[in-house]
Structure 1
Amino acid sequence: MKILMLSWEFPPKNIGGLSTHVNHLSHALAKLGHEVHVVTCEEGTAPVKELNNNVYVHRVSPYNISTDDFVKWVMHLNFAMVEEGYRIVQQYGKMDLIHAHDWLTTYAAKTLKWSLSIPIVSTIHATEAGRNGGIRTEMQRYISNTECLLADESSKLITCSNYMKNQVMESLRAKEERTVVIANGVSEIDSAIEFDKISFKRNYAQDYEKIVLFVGRHVYEKGLHLLIEAAPRIVDEYRDAKFVITGHGPITEDLKERVNHTIIKDKILFTGYIDDETRDKLYRIADVAVFPSLYEPFGIVSLEAMAAGCPVVVSDTGGLREIIDHGHNGLKMLNGSSNSLKDNVVEILKNQGLCDYIKENALKDVKEIYSWSKIGELTVNLYKDLIPKYKDTLWASDQLDKQEKEENIVTEKTVIESTELVENVAVEEGTKKEEEKVSPKNSEVKKENDKVAEMSNKEEKNVEEKKAEDQLKVNDITIEVASKPKTTPGKKRQTTKKATASTRTRTSKAKATEQKKPNVISKEKIQENFSDKVTVSIKTVAVDNSDDKNKEVKKSIDTDSE
């Protein structure tokens, strides 16, 4: 299967247990042979894209926005996630489903679901109402409504405990048949890894001191303030106790201020943020780990401590209640009670036999129930059960049919275009071969045509030259003098007639009116008779004699003496 995983945090971005959960689940699914693409928020110098142990990680940057409004920032992160989701589908093919984590990815998951026609599986790690003990502000109401939207859009909801299942059904109005419990997993900490425990411990405590360890965010619901309250009383009963507090959060400075006003401030060490390797080593050297949460959907950190062989004391609430069997694999304190916390911690520090018994049972439970390989198998079974049912739903079947038709149309069009292309290539090759065969004949025909064209051009040229010569001859035939030139006396005018039968029978009247021919002289003579300046105008006149149908060409010269 191809799985698109949406989470706002992923290593190296670690805000809480969500990052750890998504990281280990993705790798567990990849180990089972599935293609997993995690779309998450950018973090520091972490690569934008990487292939991490067969898990494709795509880190996106929220659209450029300068704001302190966390809700707006989340919306811009979702825009970037949608864009990256489309790119993933274009590059790697269609995904089989979307697995979204918590409300921060709701709008990206919904948009991709409707546009890609694939189902959503959501893991609800916590609810806004549970974290705050109710909904009191507009911000809390907005987040709670967004959680409800994610629940409505999801085909299946995963919760990490029965406690969370009941809360999701109550707060988000989720249907029971759509809600499934799959616990968080934990990776076994390799106890074979050797390091100098004495030297490492000296960074945090004296050799003789026993370490009481806290791992988690410094927020009210994690109950760290209860441990600060109980610390002086624990020291009163066990003077060699040393408190090591890792992590940070919005109440860190307030807690430090409270510690500075106690007489045991040298017994409490705030380490700040630590990496996973340091955390695992601390679990190995700690004598007890304390998780006094007021609200805890599951408590993955308690599993991490158990996997490292560190006894735990937890609040009897939420998912922690389901993980810990009091006196068997850990101890439970009354929720919200610093006195109960003090009693259980002192019991572990003083009773080494109980401590060893708890360690052994805890390691066994981690391997059999909470391994990530087991959690991965349960998650895959849910996926396989969901996908066929989703395709059978009326809406999904309509969407899938539409997509299938569109894909078929594209495929048919591609086939037709490919066929036409092949046919055109074949025709072009055939035409080229025919042209190669007839090319010698075409060359001979072309030569003959060129010869004929050349002869035709020569004949046309000769005709044009002949016409030009005839025109020159006509211009030199006769010149009529249009002025009154002096003529030579006694000289008879010559007339030319054609002897025809009609002219012989003409009447005397016709003879009397017979047209006289003008005197004809040459151009040279005219120039001799007129010594003054003469203006010469040559006109060509065609006279049509209707009786004898003869044509005479006359030219007249109009002269004006100045």
Structure 2
Amino acid sequence: VKAPQFFPWILNLNFGMLSKAHQLMQSRQIDVIHAHDWLVAHVGIQLKKIYNKPLVATIHATEAGRWHGIHNETQAYVHGMEWLLNFESWRTIVCSDYMRDEIRNSFQVPYEKIDIIPNGIKRDKFMFDFPDAWDFRRRLAADYEPLIVSVGRMVPEKGFQVMIEAAPEVLRDFPNARFVIAGKGPMLEELRHRVRAMGIADRFHLPGYVSDEDLIKLLRVADVGVYPSIYEPFGIVALEGQAARIPVVVSDTGGLTGIVEHGVTGIKTHAGSPDSLAWGIKQVLYHPDWGHWMVDQAYERLINTFNWDLIADQTKQVYARVVAEAGG
């Protein structure tokens, strides 16, 4: 695959990793090469061929999915490298049913070659004494004001523009509601301009970058966590909301579809629809007891499904299968 000039640093990265991997292979017994996404496809494939070891690929997202198709040479290069990594892999791991279907449709990878292993979350980082929680919250909203929070990169696929368009409908029923959208990215100034143009800037706070510590605190004090993605291979931000024990409202797309069971572990809404998103937010605000019940159901599922110990065991099972099939 011919790389455009935009990517020489990726090749340098792969050369550096290849050199380090050679050193490790001289002193350790390595049974499987595992490459995460196209950025390390070159080094993964070369190690496979040099040492005759099976290659496992994990694909977290695809270029076609991010951009709703392939539209230029740069995207075509990334797409080609994704195809090559899948072609060279013994097995491919994805994080959701949605991503399995995307890999199958984009690269013609047979279903039987794909393993679905979800991402996980460390629940304990959300479990800490927070005696100044009300003081922290009062920096963002008065005690009587519902606090609606979303976090993520400020890019179109995260759907924050949909959340802003949904806000007037929420404010019609809950005029004291406050919205916080935390994160940085190329759309940040555009989103700030949009809330000013809509006359609702006094109801919104878009702080940009937020430290990890404050981000967790922000989730802990929220009344609703909203994740309105247009494209979302998995949706770990929704797990973070659930780990912070707040009810979540998500768009019914991508990996979020599998994370949230509608009406049980959260509320699903139609992706890209401000009216649907506003409805979901209002459902949680109108029915706080239901919201608390969904929080308990979601937390139980975090323990039983999105648990790193379980995920590690599932990954080890893939490795064992690959080694056995490869004759190692």
- Per the normalisation by structure 1, the TM-score is 0.56
Q: Is residue 154–residue 188 contact of structure 2 (8 Å, CA) maintained in 1?
A: yes
Which one of 284, 287, 297 corresponds to residue 223 of structure 2? 287
Distance 2:254 2:142 in 1: 35
1:413-435, Cα deviation, whole Å (9 max, x unpaired) = xxxxxxxxxxxxxxxxxxxxxxx
Are 2:143 and 1:207 aligned? yes
Which one of 63, 68, 73 corresponds to residue 138 of structure 1? 73
Distance 1:73 1:328 in 2: 46
4+ residue stretches of structure 1 with deviation over 4 A? none
- Which residue does 1:339 correspond to in 2? 275
- Which residue does 1:365 correspond to in 2? 301
Are 2:239 and 1:297 aligned? no
After TM superposition, list the pairs within 5 Å mapping 1:243-322 onto structure 2.
243-322=179-258
Q: CA deviation at 1:203?
A: 2.7
Are 2:37 and 1:102 aligned? yes
- Which residue does 1:354 correspond to in 2? 290
- Which residue does 1:221 correspond to in 2? 157
* Secondary structure of the corresponding residue to residue 100 of structure 1: strand
Q: Is residue 224–residue 249 contact of structure 2 (8 Å, CA) maintained in 1?
A: yes
Q: CA deviation at 1:69?
A: 5.2
* Secondary structure of the corresponding residue to residue 271 of structure 1: strand
Distance 1:290 1:315 in 2: 9
Q: CA deviation at 1:121?
A: 1.3
- Which residue does 1:115 correspond to in 2? 50
Q: Is residue 62–residue 82 contact of structure 2 (8 Å, CA) maintained in 1?
A: yes
* Secondary structure of the corresponding residue to residue 99 of structure 1: strand
- Which residue does 2:132 correspond to in 1? 196
Distance 1:211 1:170 in 2: 40
1:398-456, Cα deviation, whole Å (9 max, x unpaired) = xxxxxxxxxxxxxxxxxxxxxxxxxxxxxxxxxxxxxxxxxxxxxxxxxxxxxxxxxxx
Distance 1:75 1:332 in 2: 41
* Secondary structure of the corresponding residue to residue 134 of structure 1: coil
1:110-140, Cα deviation, whole Å (9 max, x unpaired) = 1122122222211111111111111121111
Distance 2:133 2:173 in 1: 26
- Which residue does 1:446 correspond to in 2? none
Distance 2:168 2:35 in 1: 43
Letter matched to residue 15 of structure 2: F
* Number of residue pairs matched by the alignment: 324
1:202-248, Cα deviation, whole Å (9 max, x unpaired) = 23222322211111111111111101111122112101211111111
* Secondary structure of the corresponding residue to residue 317 of structure 1: coil
- Which residue does 1:535 correspond to in 2? none
- Which residue does 1:179 correspond to in 2? 114
Q: CA deviation at 1:252?
A: 1.2
Distance 1:103 1:239 in 2: 46
Letter matched to residue 249 of structure 2: V
Are 2:68 and 1:154 aligned? no
After TM superposition, list the pairs within 5 Å mapping 1:421-436 onto structure 2.
none
- Which residue does 1:378 correspond to in 2? 314
Which one of 174, 178, 188 corresponds to residue 242 of structure 1? 178
* Secondary structure of the corresponding residue to residue 318 of structure 1: coil
Letter matched to residue 309 of structure 1: R
CA change 1:234–1:97 in 2 (3 A) is: same
1:520-542, Cα deviation, whole Å (9 max, x unpaired) = xxxxxxxxxxxxxxxxxxxxxxx
Sequence identity (%) = 40
1:256-278, Cα deviation, whole Å (9 max, x unpaired) = 11122222201111122223222
Are 2:29 and 1:76 aligned? no
Distance 2:243 2:72 in 1: 39
Letter matched to residue 94 of structure 2: T
CA RMSD across the alignment: 1.6
Are 2:201 and 1:230 aligned? no
Distance 1:106 1:391 in 2: 23
Determine which structure has more spread, i.e. the larger CA radius of gyration: 1
After TM superposition, list the pairs within 5 Å mapping 1:396-545 onto structure 2.
none
Letter matched to residue 133 of structure 1: H
Letter matched to residue 51 of structure 2: L
Q: Which runs of 5+ in 2 are unaligned?
A: none
Distance 2:217 2:245 in 1: 11
Q: Is residue 188–residue 208 contact of structure 2 (8 Å, CA) maintained in 1?
A: no
- Per the normalisation by structure 2, the TM-score is 0.94
Distance 1:195 1:155 in 2: 51
Distance 1:201 1:227 in 2: 21
Letter matched to residue 73 of structure 1: W
- Which residue does 1:89 correspond to in 2? 25
Distance 1:210 1:389 in 2: 55
Q: CA deviation at 1:89?
A: 2.6
Deviates more, 1:186-195 or 1:229-238: 186-195
* Secondary structure of the corresponding residue to residue 7 of structure 2: helix
Higher relative contact order (CA 8 A, sep 6+): 2
Letter matched to residue 200 of structure 2: I
